Structure 1
Amino acid sequence: MGMADPATSQDKLIFPLASASIVATAFGFILRALVLGDLGQEFNLSATQMGALAGVGLWPFALSIALFSLVIDRVGFRLVFVFALICHVASTIMLITATNYTQLFMGTFVLSLGNGAVEAGANPLVASVYRNDRIRWLNYLHAGWPGGLVLGGLLTIILGLTGVTETTTFGLHAWKLKIALIVIPVAIYGLLLIGRKFPVTERVAAKVSYRDMLKDAGACGSAAVSFLAFLAIFGAFVPGFGAVHAAIAAILVGAAFFAYTRSLGNPLYVLILLMMMPQAITELGTASWVTDLVSPQMAKLGADAAWVLIATNVVLLLTRLTAGEVVHRFSPVAMLTFSAAVSALSMVMFAYSSGWMIIVAALLFGLGTAFFWPTTLGYVSEQFPRAGSVGINFVGAAGMLAAGTIGATLMGTVQDKSNEDYLTRNSPAVASQVLGAPKPSLLGEYRPIDQTKVTEGPVAEAVTTATNNGKSVALRDMAVLPSVLFVLYLVLLFMYRRRGGYKRNELHVSEDAIAKAPTGA
């Protein structure tokens, strides 16, 4: 099936709607990333608090994906997209009117819920409509992600070039005006939502029972997602809640799944779900920080750090749009093996490069991460078709939860601990002046730099040197994740070769059966 040959019985505006909604989520992601430094200065946030803001843009995303995947076949695609629309509008208002860290956190939380609803609806929708060529079309769909990032980044830069850099513009702080840009793609997919006729999912059309849909995830898959979900929710809001408490709660969820499905989960499915975690941290956790991490080197060139994100995502966009040719030449496992290797190389280059080599590293990072997300979802859809929306979305939720609860915050903590260590070793007098009270983290206690105690002159210079070093250390240390993924994908690649090559599994269902939408869908 070529790009111009969609399923003939489907509403022709379904794919544009799904793509526009993905673009809206991308706008929210990049606009937050580009104003993260501004928020840190205005609200005196530590690197870990900034990481938490980056993280809350991800883990509620995952909760929304997971919860909607359980009910989407019953409530229909329309309700999911309407929920996303409401969240996107409400969160924009909340962020623009925020006056403290808590309000920023809650506004980002609501934005993330809307983003998750989009992901929960768009992926199974496209996988069902284009079930004979899922990986190609999921890559086309997720080209909307880098496309939205590039467009959002360019609009932000244009605002700067036209003088929108002062403290207030049109009665708004400059960073608030940038956040408001999300209204553009939200309005587009809101209009496209009017009058759409949505299909049922492939699983429903094939009459696979709800119980059977849950068997591939089973006790182990549900427990893994639940562990991260409990850690994210209660870890953020309940003092003293930690990994042990989350593990106990997750075991209870897994036991409930086992009681209902009588399945521990398909071992290969559970492995892919677990691999999605470091994969998402590599792609999304790093991307959340990349502008801030490379800003020192870009400042030396007199260039806006946003150009690094733009360069990365231009490569992402072009690579995903050409996925059709790659899919028919290589298996999805081979594509993912290549992605892991190039991602690891690019992150090491980010850490040690200077000058224009930063752009080269960005291009490699874009190439390396391009196939990660859509190809993994396509692979899951092809290998575990009876799992339906739960199969795709549990894997996506696991990735988002890992990136939100562990990835983004972890990079901030690595940077904070590196700052503390560097200052303590090289400038102990400065360390005693600027380091704040100890704070807990996944890596133990750390003492963040208190920006209010940083004075002009030698103190400021020492702090700048320490923070620049911390950014490089964070990128270098995180490169271990795609390196491990490379080894695991190689093992899977050899496994399929021993079985005679990669083959997809099929559910026998007609296009007309998929096109018949339930009432209210």
Structure 2
Amino acid sequence: MTTKTTINRTQLFRASCLALLVTSLSFGIRAGILNKLGVDFNLDKAQLGTITATAFWGFPLAVVIGGVIVDIIGMKRLLVLAFIFHLAGILLTIFATGFWPLFLSTLLVGLANGTVEAACNPLVTSLYTEEKTTKLNHFHLWFPGGIVIGTVIVMLLTKLNLGWQIQVATMLIPTLIYGYLFSKLDFPVTERVASGVSTADMYKAVASPLFIFMFICMLGTGITELFTGQWIDVLLKNVSDNALLLLTLETGIMVVGRAFAKPILKMVEPQVVLLISTILAATGLYLLSTASGNTIFFAAVIFGMGVCFFWPMMLGFVNTNIPRSGALGLNLMGGAGMFAVSIYTMFMGSYYDQIVKEANGDNTLAGVKVLQATLIIPIVLVVAFAGLVLYMRGRKKAVIIPEVAV
């Protein structure tokens, strides 16, 4: 076991952020080149939806398996595996020749992304046990941050008439750096192992009513945040000439919000943040589906404020209030979010094509109708999180200490 004195938590945290940057770059760049892939390889929206969804179901597959084995094999070995998957997936994408190479390469990148989360989420909570939710927000700001960087890369390189293969190749640089850094650093054991919580207690914790409730809610928060962002160029291309700029604006808001998580959490409890976030997300999604002209940029700001805290706040809430769920709990939550997005993306890709077919090839309103259908999800979440706020308020009055409750 590595002693605490050899653990450089600052360097480990920075390397973790770099690994997550690669994960998010894959989302941002793929969102930017999705239409181009469709044209180059003669793919319809259902096929594009299947390719995109592959990253989302590859992610939960890796994150759940990683959550089960991370306590056994350690976080370092998982991250070496993530590096191998990322490297192979990026290279295969660059040299893709059609649907199946793109499918396989996207799967490998999805597996890499899930493995990064499977190792890095418990790594962050193990390194910063005194401020888990804050540091998870700081860590996860690199997800929207990478999407901003990725979309900017796409826009700049496209203007320079450089192909999508070059755009994808830019991910190799941070991939090689994070692989090198993790190979040189010592790692701690996971928090659950360090605290002596048994495997039986861990499985009992993830079977608790509160965990199951949060798990179900994660399905909705994942879809609301990630489906909309990943498909924004396709969904809004007939509404705005700057669909990618909308994605950049939305994710930029998320970066700023997560950077200021610490003062926000000093003023407002996580469950209240989630309720406010859901109201803003629903409002933003409605505006995105109805606005036109410059108003759509205001809609993107509201939506970005809404989805800003979803992912890290959900993970932080679970790890703080159900700590015995450990790395498995964190990774089941992440897996739930991505799995929901994968299924929803495939379904909505087919729904999009169906709308276009019924309109005799006119896709003017298809994206808007998909957004309006998606709006139902955050509306349901408003009710769910309002109930969570009331439940936690009652539990606090009953003098139940969150850090030992399961």
Give the TM-score category using the shorter length.
Answer: over 0.9
Match of 1:381 in 2: 319
Give me the CA root mean square deviation.
Answer: 1.7
* Equivalent of residue 365 in structure 1, options 284, 303, 309: 303
Q: CA deviation at 1:159?
A: 1.1
CA distance in 2, matches of 1:378, 1:105: 32
Match of 1:294 in 2: 236
Match of 1:327 in 2: 265
Residue identity in the other structure for 1:144? W
CA distance in 2, matches of 1:31, 1:41: 16
Match of 1:114 in 2: 112
Match of 2:94 in 1: 96
CA distance in 1, matches of 2:194, 2:404: 9
SS in 1 for 2:161: coil
Match of 1:126 in 2: 124
Residue identity in the other structure for 1:128? S
SS in 1 for 2:129: coil
Map residues 280-359 of structure 1 onto 2, 5 A cutoff.
280-299=222-241, 304-359=242-297
Cα deviations across residues 13-50 of structure 1 (Å, max 9, x unaligned)?
01001111110100111111111101111222221111
Q: CA deviation at 1:163?
A: 3.4
> Per the alignment, do residues 30 and 137 of structure 1 end up closer, same or farther by CA in structure 2, a change over 3 Å counting?
same
Match of 1:275 in 2: 217
Residue identity in the other structure for 1:203? R
Q: CA deviation at 1:490?
A: 0.2
Q: CA deviation at 1:216?
A: 2.1
Match of 1:80 in 2: 78
CA distance in 1, matches of 2:222, 2:210: 18
* Equivalent of residue 488 in structure 1, options 377, 384, 390: 384
SS in 1 for 2:239: helix
Q: CA deviation at 1:421?
A: 2.7
Larger helix proportion of the pair: 2
Residue identity in the other structure for 2:353? D
Residue identity in the other structure for 1:40? G
SS in 1 for 2:148: helix
* Equivalent of residue 167 in structure 2, options 153, 165, 178: 178
Match of 1:412 in 2: 349
CA distance in 2, matches of 1:503, 1:189: 41
CA distance in 1, matches of 2:153, 2:137: 24
Map residues 203-218 of structure 1 onto 2, 5 A cutoff.
203-217=192-206
* Equivalent of residue 403 in structure 2, options 501, 506, 514: 506
Question: Is 1:421–2:358 an aligned residue pair?
Answer: yes
Is the CA contact (8 Å cut-off) linking 1:59 and 1:401 kept in structure 2? yes
CA distance in 2, matches of 1:292, 1:181: 23
Match of 1:233 in 2: none
Is the CA contact (8 Å cut-off) linking 2:322 and 2:404 kept in structure 1? no
> Per the alignment, do residues 54 and 503 of structure 1 end up closer, same or farther by CA in structure 2, a change over 3 Å counting?
farther
> Per the alignment, do residues 129 and 504 of structure 1 end up closer, same or farther by CA in structure 2, a change over 3 Å counting?
farther
CA distance in 1, matches of 2:159, 2:165: 17
Residue identity in the other structure for 1:42? D
Residue identity in the other structure for 2:123? L
SS in 2 for 1:399: helix
Structure 1: any 5+ residue segments left out of the alignment? 1-6, 165-173, 218-264, 424-462, 509-521
CA distance in 1, matches of 2:234, 2:400: 42
CA distance in 2, matches of 1:33, 1:62: 19
Is the CA contact (8 Å cut-off) linking 1:286 and 1:408 kept in structure 2? no
Is the CA contact (8 Å cut-off) linking 1:382 and 1:504 kept in structure 2? no
Cα deviations across residues 121-179 of structure 1 (Å, max 9, x unaligned)?
11011011111111100000001111111111112222123332xxxxxxxxx111111
Residue identity in the other structure for 2:279? A
SS in 2 for 1:132: coil
Residue identity in the other structure for 1:176? Q
Cα deviations across residues 106-135 of structure 1 (Å, max 9, x unaligned)?
110001100000000110110111111111
Residue identity in the other structure for 1:489? F
> Per the alignment, do residues 204 and 507 of structure 1 end up closer, same or farther by CA in structure 2, a change over 3 Å counting?
farther
CA distance in 1, matches of 2:176, 2:238: 36
> What is the count of residue pairs matched by the alignment?
400
Residue identity in the other structure for 1:282? T
Indicate the percent of aligned positions where both proteins have the same amino acid.
Answer: 32
Cα deviations across residues 171-214 of structure 1 (Å, max 9, x unaligned)?
xxx11111111112212212321321111111101111112211
Residue identity in the other structure for 1:506? E
Map residues 116-195 of structure 1 onto 2, 5 A cutoff.
116-164=114-162, 174-195=163-184
SS in 1 for 2:171: helix
Residue identity in the other structure for 2:345? A
